[in-house]
Every structure is written in C-alpha cells, then in structure tokens.
Chains A and B, each alone.
Chain A
C-alpha cells in the first residue's frame, strides 16, 4: 500500500516537475543567461493565468490555445520592459540595487492591480481534460496534470531548439558569456538581450495558462513560485536548459513525496531548503556553466 503511494507520489511529482519546467524557463533565460534578476516573473505568469481565465470564461476557448495566441503580446511586453530596464538601470550601471527594487515594484503593482480588478476569489478555467484520468494499474494519470506537463515539455523543446540551433539563439548564449566579443561580430548585444527577454516573458503566457489548468488562481499565488523558480534555476545551473529540466523534475518529485507523506502545507518549504543547500554546497548547480 505504502509502495503504491510512493509510486503514485513519484508519478505525480514528475508531472508537476514538467509543469515547473515551463514556469522556470523564463527565469532560466532572464536570470541564467542575461543576468537580469526578474523576480516579477511569477507575477507575469499569474497575469497569463488571468488572461486565459477571462477569454476561457467569455468565449470557451481552450486555455492553451489562448496562451499560444497571446505569445506575441507577452513578447512585446517583455521587450518593452527590457527597454525601460536597460535605459534606466543597465546603461547607468545601477542594476544591482535599483534594478531589483524596480522588479519588486513591478511584481507588487501587477499583483495589486489584479487584486483590484478581480478580488481575492479563486478563479478557474473549463476544459475537456480537467477531470478525467488515465489509469495504468495502480498509477493514476490525471489529465489536468498530464496535459500541462506535455505542453510544458513541448514548449521547453521548442525553446531549446531556438536557443541552440538558430543564429539569434546562439547569440543569446554568447551575450551571457562575452558581450564585447559579440559586438566585434557586428551584433548588437542590446538587441539580442531585448529579444531574449521578450522570449522569457512570452513563456509566462504559456506557463500562466498551464497554472490555471492545474490549480485555481488568485492574485498572490505567484509569490509561492518565486522561491521555486529560483531554486530550480540555481539547482539546474544558471543558463543550462537541460539542467533546469532535471532540477524541475527533481523538485516536483521531492515536493510531491513531502506532500503525500507529511501534508501539503509543508511543500513550500522544500524549495527553499533546496535553494539554500545548493547555494551552500554547489553554487554552480547540477549542470552549471
């Protein structure tokens, strides 16, 4: 019985971890590759959730399709934010203290605006795959976890191909290593960073839709994810996409086992434990550069 429980917890954790990969992808680009500590990322994810919720309730469109359609909007939002960030902080060399405070302000303002617009009620979406489960012997595969996990892995694969195969993607990797060298190759590092940050925020659209499929959402739910995303990003090794995926799965499994055997109210503490242990013993992460 307890063995079945363990297997169930591990499977649920892998599904959860797949979803965490989508949540972390954006931070992995912004923090891992561009050195932009965008702590407002979870707020953008919740924004994505609310957009998926509004259109889903209004027109009955599938949340994942909505999020794909909204990708360009989030991309443009991201480039706009980077432009402000670059002009106000990076250019003046003040990104450490004031840049952080800026993103904290953005996080806070987004959260309060959602709060003013929608109140503190939990919101959820309707889709055919919310509810039914697949059964394989003792293993339960709820579709509301499986579909987000698969969608997340698809997005992750697309991102990985974009970054490792295209010229712009390779330039993003290069900008994280040597900005001057990139300039010598006649590539504008600011443009590359703008594109990369746009991509990073665009992932929040998809992650948000997946979030609202998995659980009901209220404005401050993003806060729980701040510790998680940075823990995964640091554990995976900054800037390493495969590392991020492995770390996301690992955190998902450990959280799920904790929730099954000790109760769900302890789950948020796990991410922090991971983060502190990684920082203390292996700051470069599993697959660090």
Chain B
C-alpha cells in the first residue's frame, strides 16, 4: 500500500508540474473537471462496482458537498448579522473556513446522508436502493431550490480569491486540492480491494444470500460502502462552488454527474480501481474535446450511447476486454 501511495503522489505532482508548464489557465479549468470525475467515479465504484449496488444519486451527494460549502461561505459573509455581538469576534477567528476544512465538512455531511439512505433501503432488494437514490436527487434539489439562504433557485455567487500565496492563481490551488483528493480516493479504493472488507464486498456482489449464510455481515458492509462512497463524493463537491464561481441548483444537481459516474466505470470496468480511472481519463478527455468542438448535448448523447453499448457488448469494460485478450494470449 505504501509504494502505491508514493507512486500515485509522485504521478500527481508530476501531472501538476506538467500542466503548469505551458502556463495556460484553461488547462487547469479543463483538467480540474476530469480529475473531479476521477474522484466521483472511484467513489461510485466502491459501492457500485465492489458491492453491486447502483447509486443513481451521485449528483445529489456531489451537490450536498457543494452546498455545504455555499452555506458555510454565506454564513461567514453574514456573520455579524446572524450571531450575537458577543460571540462574533470569536467566530471571526474561525470563519471564513479554508477549503480543506470545507472538503472535510462536505464529506461528513454527504457521508451521513449516505449512511441514512443505506440504513433505510439496503435491507431490501438492491433495486430499492437505486430508486431511492434517484428520488433523493429530486428531493434534495427541491429543498435547495426552496432554501433562500443558499440562493434558492436563482443560485449563489461565491467570490474566488484571485491568488493563492506561494502557488500562483487560485485555480491552480483548487486543482492541486482535487489531485490530492483523487490520490486519496484511488489509494482508498485499492486498499479496500485487497482487504477483508473488499472480499466481503465481492461476496455481496456475487451472491448476497450465500455471503450472509457464510457469516459475512452484509448489512454492515453495505453501510460502510455507502458511507465511504457518499463521503468521497461530498468531498469532490465541496470545492466546486469556488471552481465555478456561481452555483445554481441545476448545475450542482446536473444529471451529467449521475450519468458520467455510472458510465465511466462501466466503460472502464467495475471490478478494480483501474477501471474507473481508465474510463474517466478516456471519456473525460473525449468530453472536454467534444464540449469545445461540437456541443454539450451531442456530447451527452455520446456518453449515453457508449454506456448502453458497453453494458451490452463488453460487460466488464475496457479493463475486462484487455484481461480477456491477455488471458487468450497466455492460453496459446
């Protein structure tokens, strides 16, 4: 586990320096989205790929993280009006919170919601969890639209500082944070895969009844998976308001997140941490190019068609295809 962590940290730092070299701000903007999807898809895969429970509500968990940041930033701005004068100076010491703190808070909020959702629905058949996550996205959006404090349906502005001391532009700082999150997500996913936890997850995926019968604590494991997955998604969402500058419910709850965080692992392969990474790098880059050259609607159509095509033709994704090819060659 340690060598893998060191390698991924080195790769992340290398990537950061490489992208920094041409000194084009847009490169950070574009790659931020892709790295953000690495976190989201890896998080999705911990639940979806390892245990076989489909989460259609990635957008909701992501938006929870984003909106907890918005709520805390708004609170910091209106601190003097909201709290009595005697405590205000004390709170001014803490607020405004730095982004790493916001990331932790976003993760905790999403993790708790994930745990609650799982607790209510995971005792039943898998389909109920999937449907409940889908419905949850609609409801959370309703709540946010009706919550004036975070901007309601018209959205909220978040002022992004221009510079981050020691690094250059603030976008570079956000990008570096997202890279760190991606490393954290990948290391977690890989560690799970090779632990007792991972074997328990795989047992649930292959035959839940048999797993339960042989003493695997299925409900507890599933709750761990939903909580972990939700936490990582919330963490990915927390810096988003600072990235985008102006957060609307439609953009935070966009179906794009839900569909991409399913399509990318499905296309890459869901059995290991490599799959979501491969799928995201491939599809994410393709999308960034298509977004600029064609249009975003066509780009989404492409993702949908690829998703349908891959689940029918190559159920184990690109990684599965490569593994089959290698196995066939070895058999010769």
Chain A residues in contact with chain B, CB under 8 A? Answer: 31, 37, 39, 84, 88-89, 92, 94, 96-98, 100-102, 104-106, 108-109, 112-113, 115-116, 220, 223-224, 226-227, 230-231, 234, 265-266, 268-269, 271-273, 275-276, 279-280, 283
Interface membership of chain B positions 104-140, coded 1 if the CB is closer than 8 angstroms to chain A and 0 otherwise: 0000000000000000110010111011101110110
23 A-B pairs, CB-CB below 8 angstroms?
A: A39-B134, A97-B54, A98-B311, A100-B130, A101-B266, A101-B311, A104-B56, A104-B307, A105-B311, A108-B255, A108-B300, A108-B303, A224-B138, A226-B135, A227-B135, A227-B139, A230-B131, A230-B135, A268-B138, A269-B143, A272-B139, A279-B120, A279-B132
Tell me the complex Cα distance, A97–B315, Å.
10
Report yes or no: B127 in contact with A104, Cβ–Cβ below 8 A.
Answer: no
Known A112-B301, A116-B301, A268-B139; judge A276-B259 contact (CB<8 A).
no
B residues at A contact (CB < 8 Å):
48, 52, 54, 56, 120-121, 124, 126-128, 130-132, 134-136, 138-139, 142-143, 145-146, 205, 255, 259, 262-263, 266, 270, 297-298, 300-301, 303-305, 307-308, 311-312, 315
Asked if B132 and A275 make an inter-chain contact with CB atoms under 8 angstroms apart, the answer reads: yes
Are B307's CB and A226's CB within 8 A? Answer: no
> Are A115 and B142 in contact (CB-based, < 8 A)?
no
Are B127 and A272 closer than 8 Å at their CB atoms? no
- Contact in complex: A37, B120 (CB < 8 Å): no
**Complex contact B138–A112 (CB within 8 A):** no
Contact of B128 among A234, A266, A269 (CB under 8 A): A234
The answer to whether B138 and A226 have CB atoms under 8 Å apart is yes
CA distance A238 to B73 in the complex (A): 45
> Nearest A residue to B208 by beta-carbon distance?
A96
Residues of A within 8 A of B145 (CB): 265
Q: Is the interface of A mostly helix, strand, loop or mixed?
A: helix
Closest to B143 in A: A269
Contact B298 A116 (CB under 8 A): yes
Q: Does B52 lie within 8 Å of A96, measured CB to CB?
A: yes
Known: A112-B301, A116-B298. A227 touches B138 (CB 8 A): yes
Does B135 lie within 8 Å of A275, measured CB to CB?
Answer: yes
Task: Give the chain A neighbours of B308 by CB distance below 8 A.
Answer: 102, 105-106, 109
Instruction: Name B301's closest neighbour in chain A (CB-CB).
Output: A112
Q: Is B132 in contact with A266, judged by CB distance below 8 angstroms? A: no
Indicate the member of A84, A109, A266 with the most B CB atoms within 10 Å.
A109
CB distance A265 to B138 under 8 Å?
no
* CB < 8 Å neighbour of B127 from A37, A101, A105, A280: A37
Interfacial chain B residues near A100, Cβ < 8 Å: 54, 127, 130
